[in-house]
Structure 1
């Protein structure tokens, strides 16, 4: 199984599509957490870092929901919040650096495509996104697109 399985072949007469996104909590979250750590305020650091990382994930899920809405199948979402956490919706959102999409180099491709600098996001030499509380993804519309380990 691989992400390509969720797309039509290149020679298919039917049009296929994908969505890409980059979301970030911005530089301020990284600056403040770094200052807390540097000043030995570890509890504040851990609380704000955890909150900002989870807020980034929540923002990514919000945009994934918006994409499902625009694609016209948000009505296929599961009926409960707990179900959404178990991917009870149509489509899959895959971020680079995880088993299904291991090549971090693709962060640079998507950052260029989406002009990530407009929201203050940069890609490091090691293809990490900065600020730290940032994530990028490809969203596949296929009804069987779910998380998997390649």
Structure 2
């Protein structure tokens, strides 16, 4: 049986600036560089100890970012869109302009606790109102991956690991930057924290869920997002295993509901 969680169904619905999709190319590094999660880069990707972050991490980061710009290795681009939708049980139903079903996503529901499901953050179909969901695919392009591969082939492993780790975090920074744009366009960015570390703790309204994470684990849903956004327009393609290529790309479902948060669903604790 379907048990809906206690998520509110009377939250205000934002009005998107447009319906459908837009492609944005040629985004400059300076626009999204400030969204780089340096802790994830220095400690996570590069494995630097805390005492080496200032002496080694920052100078190497500055040097690499300069080189990426000089050698023109970044091709940041975004395709995003706003779609009318409603929910039914565990499904998020994307509608066309006439209100007919276009496609639907089925999300797992927690078996205990609040029994949350991603679908609950959207107006239920029987409420008679149309909600809005934002979708985005961002990429920093294929050149940075090609340069990483070249370093790997040349046995320059440390350089390879550094550049590869940075490329992953730059794609993530671009996704965060665009997510902030979406929140501003939906008019829900009023509560954004002033400090960036608050951003990484998601102390704001509007959650970004990437495919493959616990709330939306089904990678085959990527094909549905690709069908709606057509990311091949920015050079992003899906493999048969539903991986994004180039690898330095991310997709996301952006949920405006104020109660939206990161939660585990399904069998995992």
Q: 1:124 aligns with which of 230, 239, 264?
A: 239
How big is each residue's C-alpha offset from its partner over 1:79-112, in whole Å with a ceiling of 9 and x where there is no partner? 3111111101101100111111100011111112
Q: CA deviation at 1:7?
A: 0.8
Specify every segment of 5 or more residues in structure 1 that has no aligned partner in the other structure, as ranges: none
Output the CA distance in 2 between the equivalents of 1:116 and 1:34: 23
Matched residue, 1:139: 254
Q: Is the 8 A contact 2:188 2:206 kept in 1?
A: no
Q: Name the Cα RMSD after superposition.
A: 0.9
Q: CA deviation at 1:25?
A: 1.0
Partner-residue secondary structure (3-state), 1:17: strand
Output the CA distance in 2 between the equivalents of 1:115 and 1:97: 19
Output the CA distance in 2 between the equivalents of 1:24 and 1:13: 36
User: Which has the higher relative contact order, 1 or 2, with Cα contacts under 8 A spaced 6 or more apart?
Assistant: 1
1:108 aligns with 2:223: yes
Output the CA distance in 2 between the equivalents of 1:48 and 1:84: 24
Q: CA deviation at 1:60?
A: 0.4
Q: Which runs of 4+ in 1 moved over 2 A?
A: none
**Structure 1 segment 1-150 matched on structure 2, within 5 A:** 1-150=116-265
Output the CA distance in 1 between the equivalents of 2:224 and 2:154: 36
Specify every segment of 5 or more residues in structure 2 that has no aligned partner in the other structure, as ranges: 1-115
Give the helix-richer structure, 1 or 2: 1
TM (norm. structure 2) is 0.55
Q: CA deviation at 1:75?
A: 1.2
Partner-residue secondary structure (3-state), 2:138: strand
Give the strand-richer structure, 1 or 2: 2
- Pairs aligned (count): 150
Q: Which has the larger radius of gyration?
A: 2
Partner-residue secondary structure (3-state), 2:250: strand
How big is each residue's C-alpha offset from its partner over 1:50-90, in whole Å with a ceiling of 9 and x where there is no partner? 11110100100111100100111211112311111110110
